[in-house]
Amino acid sequence: MLSLSEQRILVTGGAGFLGKQVINQLIVAGANPDKITVTRSRDCDLRDLDNCKRAAEHQDIIIHLAAHVGGIGLNREKPAELFYDNLMMGTQLIHAAYQAGVKKFVCVGTICAYPKFTPVPFHEDDLWNGYPEETNAPYGIAKKALLVQLQSYRQQYGFNGIYLLPVNLYGPEDNFDPRSSHVIPALIRKVYEAQQKGDKQLPVWGDGSPTREFLYSTDAALGIVMATQNYNESEPVNLGNNYEISIKDLVQLICELMEFDGEIIWETDQPNGQPRRCLDTTRAQEKFGFVAQTEFRQGLKNTIDWYRQNAK
């Protein structure tokens, strides 16, 4: 196991929703808070190679979480930005890290990298067996290219880069902006606002048939830190919790937890996204002992409670 106490660690996106949790877990695992550096996009635009070089200097470990990311709406509206931004941030930072002699690079990828029709549960060996779901493809492919880069750099340069594939994340402090949020925060906000207005109907995109798996942000952070300490191989690793739920059941559960009894209106002219998402998490358990801890209903309740307290 890699001891973190003396390591200089850069966490890109460390001020974000997942980043804060990763920093907490790093400190719990023994990292020195004074040796942890966080980049913020307004001060250090990682699409610029010189910024990547400066960020990578004198670091032992880089955990790359920074991403331009959002739900189906953002993916439809800005596919070019999502492709360019994520590819340039990642590929330049990996190269800068190699040049700077960084000892370990932890790249957090995306479940959107999987093919649209993947045998369920998704196994890492199926990652290349088809094209991603169309609305996610520019983002998913940009992130998947970083896996190829890390594997190539390991093969040619002996560079220790690992690649993790977390399923959809959720939790307190998530992004609740309706223009760019993922499904859980988007639904929580939608129900909350319907309650504030006294609306008796709740419009929801799609027909409710797709399934999703969700990982609580604290659990995702724990998995990332366990991999940082214990995993040093080229194969990608899924991070999930082995619980699959349909969007229809998810909406009903959120309505139940928030005590909303209005009518759900399914907007079937809007896209569903990928038909099913559920991960095989055997590799994470076998390679570095990761098992998610948070029961889904409790995680949702925590997220709803946080939003209600911070909605204003």
Residues carrying an active site annotation? 139
Q: Which residue bears the tokens 């798996």? A: 213
176 touches 185 (CB < 8 A): yes
Q: Which residue bears the tokens 């997942």? A: 18
E-assigned strand segments in the chain: 9-12, 36-39, 61-64, 104-108, 161-166, 168-170, 201-205, 211-216, 237-239, 244-246, 263-267
Among 56, 60, 146, which Cα is nearest to 99's? 56
Radius of gyration of the chain (CA): 19
Helix, strand or coil for residue 242? Answer: coil
Task: Extract the annotated binding site.
Answer: 13-19, 143, 166-169, 182, 190, 205, 212
Mention every residue, 6+ apart, whose C-beta is less than 8 A from residue 50: none
Task: Extract the annotated binding site for NADP(+).
Answer: 13-19, 143, 166-169, 182
Neighbours of 125 (CB within 10 A): 11
Structure tokens at 57: 């200097």
Task: Extract the annotated binding site for substrate.
Answer: 190, 205, 212
Q: Which residue bears the tokens 């929801």? A: 204
Buried/exposed code over 158-167 (b: 16+ C-beta within 10 A; e: otherwise): ebbbbbbbbb
Mention every residue, 6+ apart, whose C-beta is less than 8 A from residue 264: 201, 202, 204, 208, 251, 252, 255
Helices within 120-214 (DSSP H only): 137-157, 183-197
